[in-house]
Amino acid sequence: MKKHLLKCWLWKALWALSVIAFVLAWVSVIRRAPIGQFDPLFLFWNALILGVLAVPIKLDCQTCETCTVPAPRQM
């Protein structure tokens, strides 16, 4: 169960951070000013890297049953 929760929430968190970084990068480009101390290029690269890290985790977990341990078979 713990492996399932980790994989399930990890790819969602990475994907969400990627989307947030992408949106902040576009806001920074439109405003023509860095957000905080982060320039748009830094935010775009973060969005790309976080998105790329999220994809293999999601592809490895096709269904929720992938991470479950099968019950022992009785003879």
* Residue 61's pLDDT band (cuts 50, 70, 90): low
51 near 5, Cβ under 8 Å? no
Number of domains in the chain: 1
pLDDT at 62: 62
How much is the pLDDT for 10?
Answer: 81
Q: Summarize pLDDT for 18-54 with one digit per residue, the tens.
A: 999 999 999 999 999 998 899 999 999 999 999 998 8
Instruction: State phi, psi for 59 to the nearest 5 degrees.
Output: -70, -30
The Cα 6–Cα 40 span in angstroms is 30
Domain that holds residue 37: 8-62
pTM higher than 0.75: no
**37-75 burial: b if 16+ Cβ within 10 Å, else e:** eeebebbbebbeebbeebeebeeebeeeeebeeeeeeee
**Residues paired with residue 35 on neighbouring β-strands, in sequence order:** 38
